[in-house]
Structure 1
């Protein structure tokens, strides 16, 4: 109740609402004005949104949601920066199809067995990040963690990275992945919370776990999370 009465709550609620719409809204430049309003509600920098618009004009794909297109756009800008600074690594070559798979949010609605099956298919261990839409400390932490280029490269190039919002009220029966949760009145958030309790015995967020493709816990990170501890978590042998 204290948080709901704070000045930050309306902003976070609008951001959450805009993000959910953009995850399902297909790219349509004829309706750019409404999409732009949603992007600015997240909020994103207006100059960056204009660069995104220019990118969409040259790389239009109606098969992508705005959420997916944004991920591809950021990857494109990163590649351009590497080329400009001469730091591109020729030995790291990921084809366009794989980029779409890695950067899309299709893992979000998967049950754990489906996540592990997909991890086995692409031969990657799984990093699951537990967070919450309404958790202010997580939002502040993410600004530092996920704007770090090295951490992003590790998450998207080395692992299958899955983010689970444990307070998401979306009903499982209304999501793309139904399977074992059908008819249980389970929400996406509760399912994520069950996974976290299974591996960590706790609902405290934010938290990270690393699983192999058989679902065995390799290690976890739930205390003293910062760029240095997360980088160590991702690179420890």
Structure 2
């Protein structure tokens, strides 16, 4: 799991929230696949609405321009983000995301390797609504600041606890990675983060950095599926 602090700026969060106040919303059950529909109680912005499409494209542009996100996910395809709203009493029980998703208005499909939640509500404006992810180390709970995002394996069981007060807004999306093996993808991410940190050190020899870059890109060549 990778937490991306302030994927959206404060101004961007405000703009998204203001825009979402003026779009049509649907029952979230209509967009859930398989068994997930029986545990989903929320609302989703109508993906066919022109304003929602505009917000989706804007968010996709932000995703593609974020170095940490690209480093962690190495995305090949990104599903158009969906905007979810939870009000008092609404929740999304434990579920696993569908392994294969059909891209909207297309015959193309996406294998969901990574899921990502981008928080749009300030955590002190609602109670409950935690994102809970089951991991080999036990349940991990997240309630990010507005603008923060968390990237996690789509294969994991996860849920959103009931909102008991206020309103929780978030954007969710799924990504097919160029590197399908999660362990290798994690290793590549850690290597890239180390390289980026070393780039900030003026005392590091350029030849050493070139050697690390050589290793990193050759590992990607060996493990990429396109």
* TM-score normalised over the length of structure 1: 0.26
Q: Report 1 or 2 for greater relative contact order, CA contacts < 8 Å, sequence distance ≥ 6.
A: 2
* TM-score normalised over the length of structure 2: 0.27
Q: Whose helix proportion is higher, 1 or 2?
A: 1
